[in-house]
Amino acid sequence: MSLLDVVDLRKSFDSHVAVAGLSFDVREGEVLGLLGPNGAGKTTTMSIIAGLLEPDGGELKYQGQAIRPGADALRRGLGVVPQDLAIYPDLTAVENLTFFGRLYGVTGAKLQNRIDWVLERTALTQQAQRPARTFSGGMKRRLNFAIGLLHEPRLVMLDEPTVGVDPQSRAHLLDCVRELRSDGVSVLYASHYMEEVEAVCDRVAIIDHGQLVASGSLDELLAQVRVSIRLRVSRAEEMTLATLRALPMVTDIETQTNGSADTLLILKTSITSSDRARLGEALQQVLQRLADGQVEVLSVTTQDSNLEQLFLELTGRRLRD
């Protein structure tokens, strides 16, 4: 069941279109990855959901009901962890948490319990009484994260939560996201780090230029990636390449010599990674053509499919461009 539906969301800043009819949904208890390069519209989308920006058009539905962006019910159900740190450096971790907890109406013993819980989850219990300005970058990130969880939100929005974070803190934050999922909390995880999205997300929505370009479970998306066959050969004459291009499943061939005697051929195919049978058949045909041309094959590999490849295929550019 959908907790949040984003329907045909649109937002422009003067002539720049930031979000152009974006639609996706976040289901109960899942981690949805919002994957896209910088400037794709992830932060704008989250800002609209959080009530920071007025959309030009489109609709939000929370628990199946249409809701105005920034409506009180939505705000109370949302835990937002902004991309940039948003903590008071002169307050201690506990004071930061107490302030934001009270702002969300959490008070008394419940507030104390929640503070203890988030401090433990983010491994900040030992630093609870220290001013945040004395924290390392990673600890500040974790406090930033803890504040977003304090009021028991049903949906946590994480906007690039690991930018500038050391590997240890990154691993810790990703563990926290998994724990949230196991607690039944929905998470909208925006990132341009493919590895993180692959590591924690159940489903992924890939966006570019403010539009959804693909969505689905990780397996579903990866199954769409077209396989490339990489062959290291003794020589690559034009006649040989022409015979390979003539194969129906080959869409393009790239050659790399790197100054050595042998040549690397990258055969881009129309075969998706899910179609293993066709891939085997295609490989046999390629090897046969090379043998016919008396070209010695030194090595054969197929490239692992990943979201980076998929994004490249779908948009023609890399995630980190």
* Residues binding another protein (CB under 8 A): 50-52, 72, 75-76, 78, 80, 82, 84-91, 95, 99-100, 102-105, 147
Beta carbon of residue 63, minimum distance to another protein (angstroms, whole number): 17
Closer Cβ to another protein, 57 or 89, answer by number: 89
**What gap in Å lies between CA 116 and CA 146, rounded to an integer?**
10
Beta carbon of residue 9, minimum distance to another protein (angstroms, whole number): 17
Closer Cβ to another protein, 55 or 311, answer by number: 55
Q: Return the exposure string of 182-219: e unless at least 16 CB atoms fall within 10 Å of the residue's CB, then b.
A: eeebbbbbbbbbbebbbbbbebbbbbbebbbbbbeebe
Do the strands 2-13 and 155-159 form a parallel or antiparallel pair, or are they unpaired?
A: unpaired
Beta carbon of residue 212, minimum distance to another protein (angstroms, whole number): 24
Count of other CB atoms within 10 angstroms of residue 64:
11
Closer Cβ to another protein, 100 or 193, answer by number: 100
Closer Cβ to another protein, 114 or 203, answer by number: 114
Beta carbon of residue 101, minimum distance to another protein (angstroms, whole number): 9
Beta carbon of residue 125, minimum distance to another protein (angstroms, whole number): 22
Closest CA to 298 of 226, 216, 231: 231
Q: What share of the chain is helix, strand, coil (3-state, %, to 5)?
A: 40, 30, 30
Two structure tokens written together for 259: 């100054």
| Residue 253: alpha-carbon gap to chain centroid | 30
Closer Cβ to another protein, 164 or 280, answer by number: 164
